[in-house]
Amino acid sequence: MELEAYLRRAIGQQEFHLVYQPIVDSHTNQIAGLECLIRWHQPQLGYISPADFIPIAEETGLIHEIGEWVLMEACRQNMIWQNAGLPKLPVAVNLSSRQFKDSRLSRKVQSILEETGLPPQYLELEITESMSMDVKTASDALNELKKLGFKVAMDDFGTGYSSLGYLKDFPIDKMKIDQAFIKGLKQSPVNAAIVHTMIAMAHKLNLLVVAEGVETEEELQVLKEYGCQLVQGYYFSPPANAEKIGEILHKYALTITP
């Protein structure tokens, strides 16, 4: 209840900001996209993890306002980078199930794009498979978003209760393998077998695959061997603020300019 009271004030008091984590092409080491992650520094309580406050925002309905702020901020920042002549990259935004169930979602997203001027191919949406909702509602919502030109990724794949069912029913573009499977990939034959199979399955379904939580060179090597195109994790970069990412993109722009 204490958190809820603080959370209600947080938007107006501008206590949130976004950090961005590069998603990297495992073969070229080039940045292929960014995922934005919300951060909250509460003046009295200090840093509070999204894993702790997003569930409260969902229960209280505050997620609508917070989620819209995240979408707007991510699109606005992406336009700033693009207008500065940096490489154009898609930014992925995490959507909570409450937002996804909101029938006005696609209209809201579209008006945010109009307001910021960001073309739809530079916004990706990440959904999690733990979202409890009927298949028809969810696939209708997804189809509507996809018609507008957004790519959709299934986040934390493999940790929910119906991963395969979701793959069957939902028109997604990308599978993000949960970091729980990546940890100890080299040491655990079980994890290795699961990850290898997930990657092969994703390819058969014409999905792009991202491995989350890649922390070591060893993990990267195994993932490359299995044909995983995209990786994300502390090994390449932790999430960083917009300024830092701008610097990274600037360097990257210089290395790829002929």
Q: Which does 73 bind (CB under 5 to 8 A by kind): Mg ion, ligand C2E, none?
A: none
State the DSSP string of 123-182. EEEEEETT----HHHHHHHHHHHHHTT-EEEEEEETSSS-HHHHHHHS--SEEEE-HHHH
Alpha-carbon distance values, 98 to 58, 95, 171, 212, 258 (Å): 6, 8, 19, 24, 45
From the list 3, 7, 20, 21, which residue makes contact with ligand C2E (rule: CB under 6 A)? 21
From the list 13, 27, 88, 234, which residue makes contact with ligand C2E (rule: CB under 6 A)? 234
Residues with Cβ within 8 Å of 235's Cβ and at least 6 positions away in sequence, in order, are 214, 215, 216, 217, 219, 220
Q: Which does 54 bind (CB under 5 to 8 A by kind): ligand C2E, Mg ion, none?
A: ligand C2E
Q: Report, in Å, the least distance between residue 71 CB and ligand C2E.
A: 9
Q: Report, in Å, the least distance between residue 94 CB and Mg ion.
A: 4
> What are 161's two structure tokens?
């209760």
- String marking each residue 120-159 x if it binds Mg ion according to CB under 5 A: ------x----------------------------xx---
Q: Report, in Å, the least distance between residue 254 CB and ligand C2E.
A: 25
Q: Report, in Å, the least distance between residue 233 CB and ligand C2E.
A: 3
Alpha-carbon distance values, 223 to 62, 121, 217 (Å): 38, 27, 10
If the CB atoms of residues 36 and 86 are measured against ligand C2E, the closer one turns out to be 36
Residue type, 21: Q
CB 239 within 8 A of CB 74: no
Q: Select from 83-91, 94-102, 105-113, 130-138 the region that touches ligand C2E (CB under 6 A).
A: 94-102
Distance CA 218, CA 51 (A): 28
If the CB atoms of residues 7 and 91 are measured against Mg ion, the closer one turns out to be 91
Q: Report, in Å, the least distance between residue 72 CB and ligand C2E.
A: 11
Q: Are strands 151-157 and 91-94 parallel, antiparallel or unpaired?
A: unpaired
- String marking each residue 151-190 x if it binds ligand C2E according to CB under 6 A: ----xx----------------------x-----------
Distance CA 23, CA 35 (A): 7
Distance CA 33, CA 122 (A): 9
Interface residues for Mg ion in 187-246 (CB under 5 A)?
Answer: 212
Contact footprint for ligand C2E (CB under 6 A):
21, 37-38, 49-51, 54, 67, 70, 94-96, 126, 155-156, 179, 212-215, 233-234, 239
Contact footprint for Mg ion (CB under 5 A):
94, 126, 155-156, 212
